[in-house]
A and B are shown apart, each in its own frame.
Chain A
Amino acid sequence: MKISDIKIEKLNTDVLIIGGGTAGCYAASYIGENSGYKVIVAEKADIKRSGCLAAGVNALNAYISDGHTPGDYVEYARKDAEGIVRDDLLLTIAEKVNAVTHDLEKKGLVILKDRDGNYVTRGWRNVKINGENIKPILAENVCRQKNVKVINHINITDLKKSGDSVTGAYGFSVREKKFFEIDASAVIIATGGAAGLYRPNNPGFSRHKMWYPPFNTGAGYAMGIRAGAEMTTLENRFVALRCKDTIAPTGTIAQGVHAKQVNSDGEVYETKYGLTTPERIYGTVEEKRAGRGPCYLKTKGISKEAESDLYKAYLNMAPSQTLKWIESGRGPSEDNVEIDGTEPYVVGGHTAGGFWVDTGRRTTVKGLYAAGDVAGGAPQKYVTGALAEGEIAAKTVISDLENSKPSDNLKSADIFKSYLDHFNRTDSTITCEQAEEAMQKTMDEYAGGIGSDYRYNEAGLKIAERRIEEIEKLAGRLRADDMYDLLKIFELKDRLTVCRALIAHLSARKETRWHIFGENADHPVQDAKFLCYVNSVLKDKKIKVIYRPLVKRSGYLHSEAQEMEADT
């Protein structure tokens, strides 16, 4: 294939938003509603059902009920993350989560209310909803904005740089022979986190039956890393506690019908290990290691009415669980629900891994902003936090737009050639699927996947590092026959970039700050020296680690950045 066989489309806009998921949609709507700037949303699938919210969501997990303050939310998140959070980011999110919830309700989201019209809360920071149509609601509002253009089915691979600034992006159509070059005065990256780095729970037929969207490849992290942006806390991986096999949520059962975690002897073990997410999973792993697995949520004996409510709740967010109950002929009132931890993910909306941003969500590269799961430092942001962050980034962009648009650095010809090369490769014995499997196997065995009970050590990480480099070389030689093949190859390349950075982060935090999320077998306990951030940048093709002291509550700017001694 030659470049003349390809249609090249050049576009120009004020703001480019990469990724039309939760944060991206909200940022687009905000700019549409509050300014005259032209916006392009570049989305890999279709914004109507893309990203984390495709199937729906069971509840809004970040809503602050009466009697509590945004400060309480910051405290909760900081404690849950053992101190490694950015107070400034958490606070700006916490101050907005209620407002975005009310906005969603106005736009059509069903939220459970009592007779007096108050939200029915689950705990002090959670409201019950019908979240099946939450994504179509967000998407429809984007489509109503006159100055926002949505381009669906386009995969962005690289940021366009001019000197030290980001001035747009390159990508290709997933459906037709078409490459894109988009110039923009500001770029908001909102591509979500990374799934599929590790071997999944169901490695065979149901390999994509996972907690996080398997289509979220960490593309934003990878593009940012390649463009020289600083990342933070990637080693704070996220592992979810899920219903085994279907990988459906457990919180709905645990909180909805107050089911406790029990081992195969019927003993409640959750109190022994603690109730944070990592502790709940740590307990499950430890019970299994001690020979007391499988582990369950004790639902046996719940009423038929409760069972029927569970069937409906799961149809609104994880239909496979309801199908499994019905198909097996044994619902949760008859059988306890088996639980397990998932493979590790990098996801800034639950744990803290992602772009290092200032309080306004500027990344360390001029012209580039980050929001949602791709942005680091603010765990427990969930859906409403991602919306809040989309709004914060959008606000900053509006105030920053000054329209200096210098010329191009990364030549489009080079990028487009890197696409074309894959069509002109001769067939090889190695396929993209094989290379992905090799990556997942490596991460599972040597970088703390399910297969090693989430534990890793320096010796293993060294092997992982070498293997990932080898697979990266392999990925450069893969053959594509159509645009979908090209998509799969670039998704693999992005994952490999994230793996490299993740391995460097796991190695740099020489302690076990969090069970499961970062289980360092060489250093199995917490070490006060590491009450700091582990950050990184790609420099001269190597991941360089930077330790930074904790940022306290207030508007943080990159110009204030401090570095700690490397021998921390």
Chain B
Amino acid sequence: MSIRIDRNKCIGCGRCSDACPGNLLWLDKENKAFIKDVRDCWGCTSCLKACPVTAISFYLGADIGGCGSQMTVERNGFIYNWRIKTPDGGEKVISVDSRNSNAY
């Protein structure tokens, strides 16, 4: 599992780099964020939540069942909108209200 950074969307603010608990995210010479080694990501999604322009998506490696889908998260007030795009063009959005506790 790991993350992918869309260079075209990245604004070089460095917030993902600050947030990563593993010091994995850095800014390159063109001031774009990159991940040192995709295999070192824990999958905590802290960087997705820190990114102000939704430039980071999250995916599962093929070794744990990944089939090419990508997930992003956008915050709208108290609501987190998790968007999953499948390689065949499908899309599913799950909204989680941060004011609500887990049901389980």
Q: Known contacts A112-B102, A315-B80: does B43 contact A48 (CB below 8 Å)? A: no
Partner of B42 from A210, A309, A322 at Cβ < 8 Å: A210
The answer to whether A130 touches B46, judged by C-beta atoms less than 8 angstroms apart, is no
Partner of A326 from B20, B40, B69 at Cβ < 8 Å: B69
Partner of A215 from B21, B39, B59, B100 at Cβ < 8 Å: B21
Q: Is B13 an interface residue (CB 8 A)?
A: no
Pairs A–B under 8 Å by Cβ, sample size 22: A45-B22, A49-B46, A50-B21, A110-B99, A112-B101, A128-B104, A202-B64, A204-B61, A205-B39, A207-B39, A207-B40, A208-B41, A245-B65, A252-B104, A255-B104, A313-B103, A315-B94, A320-B1, A322-B94, A327-B65, A327-B67, A328-B67
A residues touching B (Cβ–Cβ < 8 Å)? 44-46, 48-51, 54-55, 58-59, 110-112, 120, 122, 128-133, 152-153, 174-175, 202, 204-210, 213-215, 245-246, 252-253, 255-257, 309-313, 315-320, 322-324, 326-328, 484, 487
- B66-77 vs A, CB cutoff 8 Å, 1 = contact: the mask equals 110101010000
Q: Is B31 an interface residue (CB 8 A)?
A: no
Extra pairs beyond A128-B103, A209-B42 (16, CB < 8 Å)? A49-B19, A54-B21, A55-B43, A120-B101, A128-B101, A128-B104, A174-B23, A206-B61, A210-B42, A213-B21, A256-B103, A312-B103, A315-B82, A316-B102, A326-B84, A484-B23
Partner of A316 from B19, B36, B71, B96 at Cβ < 8 Å: B96
Q: Which residues of A contact B46 (CB under 8 A)?
A: 48-49, 54-55
The answer to whether B64 touches A245, judged by C-beta atoms less than 8 angstroms apart, is yes
8 A Cβ contacts from B46-93 to A: 46, 50, 58-67, 69, 71, 73, 80, 82, 84, 86, 92
Q: Which residues of A contact B103 (CB under 8 A)?
A: 128, 256, 309, 312-313
- B16-33 vs A, CB cutoff 8 Å, 1 = contact: the mask equals 001111110010000000
Partner of A256 from B19, B43, B66, B104 at Cβ < 8 Å: B104
The answer to whether A309 touches B104, judged by C-beta atoms less than 8 angstroms apart, is yes
Q: How far is the CA of A203 from the CA of B90 in the complex (A)?
A: 31
Distance in angstroms from B45 CB to nearest chain A CB is 5
Q: How far is the CA of A110 from the CA of B96 in the complex (A)?
A: 13
Q: How far is the CA of A312 from the CA of B21 in the complex (A)?
A: 23
Q: Known contacts A311-B94, A312-B94, A319-B45: does B102 contact A204 (CB below 8 Å)? A: no
Q: Which residues of A contact B21 (CB under 8 A)?
A: 45-46, 49-51, 54, 213, 215
Q: Which residues of B contact A111 (CB under 8 A)?
A: 101
Q: How far is the CA of A110 from the CA of B46 in the complex (A)?
A: 19
Number of interface residues of B (CB under 8 A): 47
Q: Is B11 an interface residue (CB 8 A)?
A: no
The answer to whether A129 touches B101, judged by C-beta atoms less than 8 angstroms apart, is yes
Distance in angstroms from A318 CB to nearest chain B CB is 8
- Counting chain A CB atoms within 10 Å of each CB, the highest count among B36, B102, B103 belongs to B102
Q: How far is the CA of A253 from the CA of B50 in the complex (A)?
A: 29
- Counting chain B CB atoms within 10 Å of each CB, the highest count among A111, A215, A252 belongs to A215
Q: Which residues of B contact A209 (CB under 8 A)?
A: 1, 42-43, 61, 64
The answer to whether B42 touches A215, judged by C-beta atoms less than 8 angstroms apart, is yes
Distance in angstroms from B101 CB to nearest chain A CB is 4
Which residue of chain B has the shortest Cβ distance to A52 in the bound complex?
B21
Q: How far is the CA of A319 from the CA of B69 in the complex (A)?
A: 13
Q: Which residues of B contact A207 (CB under 8 A)?
A: 39-40
Q: How far is the CA of A120 from the CA of B103 in the complex (A)?
A: 10
Q: How far is the CA of A152 from the CA of B23 in the complex (A)?
A: 11
Which residue of chain B has the shortest Cβ distance to A433 in the bound complex?
B37
Q: Known contacts A49-B44, A206-B1, A214-B42: does B102 contact A130 (CB below 8 Å)? A: yes
The answer to whether A214 touches B94, judged by C-beta atoms less than 8 angstroms apart, is no
Q: How far is the CA of A403 from the CA of B69 in the complex (A)?
A: 57
Q: Known contacts A214-B22, A312-B94: does B101 contact A319 (CB below 8 Å)? A: no
The answer to whether B64 touches A322, judged by C-beta atoms less than 8 angstroms apart, is no
The answer to whether B41 touches A55, judged by C-beta atoms less than 8 angstroms apart, is no
Distance in angstroms from A274 CB to nearest chain B CB is 23
The answer to whether B44 touches A54, judged by C-beta atoms less than 8 angstroms apart, is yes
Q: Which residues of B contact A49 (CB under 8 A)?
A: 19-21, 44, 46, 50
Q: Which residues of A contact B2 (CB under 8 A)?
A: 205-206
